[in-house]
């Protein structure tokens, strides 16, 4: 029996705690390393290029989220489908899902690049760019978009590696990317002084090298999932299944894109370019800790998907509750550090006194209810992993689109710039309050199915 098949079968037999540790730890290490890179990247740009560059980088967040939305629709959708098919021991379909994942990433990545490059300046103005921040945002995104196909392929293949029972290989891929990124950023930004363009070039180059290694791994014919002829032609049923599950993370990322666009415009309106820079810094801190939670969710996904496919509901729910506990503990640490040391955190990104003051206050307000987000995100990914698309979409949209957007519009009418910040912890808490009853209702259904 191949190592690949043994790893897949272990998802239904090994102790759940051991499995979650085995799958989540590599993902957490990889995601935290990625967060560390983002912090170093933004700190170097802020310290070397200046506070306007940090604000310009903040304008690119919606673009990055939009690109990630399409990548997640394919990567997460296909990996969830593969996990379920491996649980059902339907290996030929899992093989075809791998080929269709490559083809979809190629088509979507290229199309996204062409359309966005054609309309880059109008899109950036719409995202909240000003005459001051536009040159920085344009310079960064031109390079990122030119490498968009490689980025999509890299993230898609990493998701499939985890689904195929190779979490450590997925971790190695990310760790290599992060290490190469840091090395290239030091070379391009600090040594060559290529500015924000150098940071973008470092990102694309490191992801391209890692993607080549991923494709080499999938060329091993002894594995269940490997590259071969006949699996690349798109099949309607497989594409439909990928998109049906992938639509939830797609909408989650598109929603993040819409929110950041709206928030950037609100911050410009009530506080100017420096307020956008403060939001960029606060958002970097939030994402640093949230990436740990995403690592837990990624580790949970193949275990939950496999055991749901194998109808082992006890193991599935045990994995969920362990993941919720891990995610909550991680965000409690992030919340504590943000409440105690916001000024020190802000100084990592800039030496500008005005921006430090704005960012420190923003970090505290943004992170005020952050410790409840871990359980909300984990439960949302749980429903996504078992194919409960409508529930996952609703929970994905509730935190940001349904709650945050109207609050971010109304609160500033009463509290000005602080009102924009207040809207974020308010939506965090209310979305958590909506998620728990939904999980309890589905738990009753799982118990009933088990008794039958």
**pLDDT tens digits, one per residue of 162-211:** 888 787 888 888 889 888 988 998 899 888 888 889 989 998 999 999 99
Q: How many angstroms separate the Cα of 329 from the Cα of each of 234, 317, 431?
A: 42, 19, 19
Closest listed residue to residue 155, CA positions, set 248, 41, 27: 27
Under the phi-then-psi rule, with left for phi > 0, alpha for psi from -120 to 50, and beta for the rest, what region is 350? beta
Buried b (16+ CB within 10 A) or exposed e, 129-155: bbeebbebbbbbbebbbebbbbbbbbb
Helix (H) or strand (E) holding 50: none
Mean pLDDT across 28-49: 76
**pLDDT tens digits, one per residue of 378-414:** 999 999 888 887 888 888 788 888 899 999 999 999 9
Largest Cα–Cα separation, the chain: 67
Mean pLDDT across 28-53: 76
Helix, strand, coil proportions of the chain in percent (round to 5)? 85, 0, 15
Residue pair 348/270 in contact by the 8 Å Cβ criterion: no
Closest listed residue to residue 65, CA positions, set 321, 252, 309: 252
**pLDDT tens digits, one per residue of 44-103:** 788 888 778 888 887 887 777 788 778 778 888 898 888 888 878 888 888 899 999 999
The model's pTM is 0.72
**pLDDT tens digits, one per residue of 221-268:** 888 788 888 899 999 999 998 988 888 778 777 877 888 889 989 999
With 0-12 / 13-18 / 19 or more C-beta atoms within 10 angstroms meaning exposed / middle / buried, residue 91 is: middle
d(CA 225, CA 113): 29
């Amino acid at each position: 029996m191949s190592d690949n098949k043994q790893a897949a079968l272990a998802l239904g037999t090994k102790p759940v705690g051991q499995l979650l540790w085995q799958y989540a730890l590599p993902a957490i290490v990889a995601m935290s390393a990625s967060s560390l890179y983002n912090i170093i990247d933004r700190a170097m740009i802020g310290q070397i290029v200046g506070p306007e560059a940090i604000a310009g980088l903040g304008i690119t967040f919606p673009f990055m989220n939009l690109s990630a939305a399409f990548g997640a629709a394919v990567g997460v959708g296909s990996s969830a489908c593969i996990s379920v098919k491996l649980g059902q021991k339907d290996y030929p379909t899992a093989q075809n899902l791998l080929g269709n994942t490559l083809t979809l990433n190629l088509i979507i990545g290229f199309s996204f690049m062409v359309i966005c490059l054609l309309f880059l300046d109008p899109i950036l103005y719409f995202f909240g760019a000003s005459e001051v921040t536009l040159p920085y945002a344009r310079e960064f995104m031109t390079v990122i978009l030119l490498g968009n196909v490689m980025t999509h392929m890299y993230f898609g293949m990493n998701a499939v590696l985890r689904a195929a029972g190779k979490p450590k290989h997925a971790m190695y891929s990310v760790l290599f990317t992060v290490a190469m990124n840091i090395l290239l950023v030091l070379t391009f930004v600090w040594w060559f002084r290529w500015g924000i363009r150098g940071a973008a070039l470092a990102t694309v180059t490191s992801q391209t090298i890692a993607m080549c290694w991923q494709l080499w791994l999938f060329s091993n014919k002894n594995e269940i999932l490997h590259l071969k002829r006949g699996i690349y032609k798109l099949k309607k049923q497989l594409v439909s299944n990928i998109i049906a599950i992938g639509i939830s993370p797609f909408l989650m990322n598109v929603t993040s894109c819409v929110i950041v666009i709206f928030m950037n415009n609100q911050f410009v309106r009530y506080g100017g370019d420096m307020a956008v820079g403060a939001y960029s810094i606060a958002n970097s801190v939030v994402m640093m800790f949230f990436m740990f939670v995403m690592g837990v969710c990624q580790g949970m996904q193949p275990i939950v998907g496999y055991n749901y496919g194998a109808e082992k509901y006890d193991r599935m729910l045990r994995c969920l509750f362990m993941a919720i506990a891990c995610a909550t503990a991680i965000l409690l640490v992030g919340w504590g550090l943000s409440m105690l040391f916001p000024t020190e955190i802000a100084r990592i990104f800039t030496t500008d006194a005005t921006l430090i003051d704005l960012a420190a206050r923003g970090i505290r307000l943004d992170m005020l209810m952050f410790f409840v987000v871990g359980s909300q995100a984990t439960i949302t990914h749980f429903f996504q992993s078992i194919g409960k698309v409508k529930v996952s979409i609703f929970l994905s949209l509730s935190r940001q689109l349904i709650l945050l957007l109207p609050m971010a519009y109304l609160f500033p009418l009463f509290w000005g710039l602080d009102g924009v910040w207040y809207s974020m912890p308010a939506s965090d808490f209310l979305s958590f309050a909506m998620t728990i009853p939904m999980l309890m209702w589905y738990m009753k259904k799982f118990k009933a199915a088990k008794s039958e």
